[in-house]
Amino acid sequence: MQRITKEWLDFLREQYPEGSRIRLKEMNDPYHPVEPGTMGTLRWIDDMGQFHVNWDNGRTLALVIGVDHFTVLPPELQELKFYMPLTGNFYGYDDWGNLEEYGSDLTGQELMKYEASIREAIRENQMPEEKERGLMRWYDKADGVNGKVQSVVFDVESRNGQLWGVARCQVDGILSPEEKEILADYISGQASDGWGEGFEQREIRVNEGELYVSLWNAGNWTIQTDQERFSPDSLDRLPDLCWSVLPSTGALICIKKGESGYYPSGWDTGDREQNRRIADYSNQKRGITPEQVEAMVTGSMHGWDVPGADPAWYRQDEARTGGVELEQSL
């Protein structure tokens, strides 16, 4: 097979991202070709330019440009939702019809009855420039997140007996774990210091008084996907990525599920204590428990099929440490 140039390979990967749909016209395989007309999903394009496809019929044969004949369709937009806890302040009317001087704090449970009013206020708070891409209008990096995430808008949704803030993301293709974390961090910034900061100062008029709603708070705030937040086994799952500190140097590192070792983090400050605070906060913000971090550390060093790579293993016996210290191997 003839090797293709790097420029052509880069072009193919840019034009046909992971998640693109493939319609097969003809596969020139003399033994067991995939049937013409079969649909599949592009997994990746290798260094030889072969299109690796998960076919809808369960097969995984790759396609070769110039040999096989097929059509690449644009990936279907997928909705990715990030959930965050809501808080509110309510100012009711006194006996003379004036607003009370001091408001009362409201939880997500108490905010449920105001869902329609809050949703309408969110929509009214959107700027004309945000009509097409929502919050992505203000995303200024020319990276994979900007290319794949077509729009992000805030909304609210009732789940499990309380009202949640939701960032609805329309995604073209599949986000890598790193891209998902970049997106979550961007949405967090918009909820706390950007769009959300302006929204929480906007009064929402309801029958009983005025309501102010915050998408972010300084307490135990998290931002998680549907599966991360609401899956029954969410605490037993390994996250795609977590943060830790390298004991030998104090460097801030990332650990990726299923991969050996670690990666240096771009957020490293050079200060051990500051890096520890960043790691703890980043894990907490994404709803990653200490048990999940322990399991990720163990898996990255000793393999992902050992008992210590399961978060449940640590909860079964709190006295059990896992027998592994990060400093021993990293």
Share of the chain above pLDDT 70, in %: 95
pTM reported for the whole predicted model: 0.76
Residue finishing a domain among 40, 75, 110: 75
Binning pLDDT at 50, 70 and 90, where does residue 50 land?
very high
Closest by CA to 288, choosing from 232, 238, 218, is 238
Q: Are 113 and 211 members of one domain?
A: yes
User: Which residue range(s) make up the domain with 260?
Assistant: 231-329
Which of 39-43, 100-104, 264-268, 315-319 bottoms out in mean pLDDT, i.e. has the lowest? Answer: 315-319
Any domain includes 60:
yes
How many CB atoms within 10 Å of residue 217? 14
**Structural domain count of the chain:** 3
Is residue 203 within 8 Å of 166, Cβ to Cβ? no
Is residue 231 within 8 Å of 288, Cβ to Cβ? no
Any domain includes 54:
yes
Query: How many residues are recorded in the chain?
Result: 330
In b/e form, how buried is each residue of 265-293, taking b as 16+ CB within 10 angstroms? beebeeeeeebeebbbebbebbbbbebbb
- CA–CA distances in Å: residue 186 to residues 140, 151, 191, 223: 11, 13, 9, 11
Q: Are 61 and 182 members of one domain?
A: no
pLDDT value of position 15: 83
Q: Are 214 and 315 members of one domain?
A: no
Residue finishing a domain among 23, 41, 75: 75
Strand partners, 213: 88
Q: Are 56 and 182 members of one domain?
A: no
Q: Half-sphere exposure (CA, 13 Å, Cβ side) for 233?
A: 6
Query: Residue 328 has which token pair?
Result: 């021993």
Which of helix, strand or coil describes residue 217? coil
Q: Would you give the distance in Å from CA 279 to the centre of its chain? A: 17
pLDDT value of position 159: 96
Mean pLDDT of all residues belonging to the chain: 91
Q: Are 106 and 26 members of one domain?
A: no
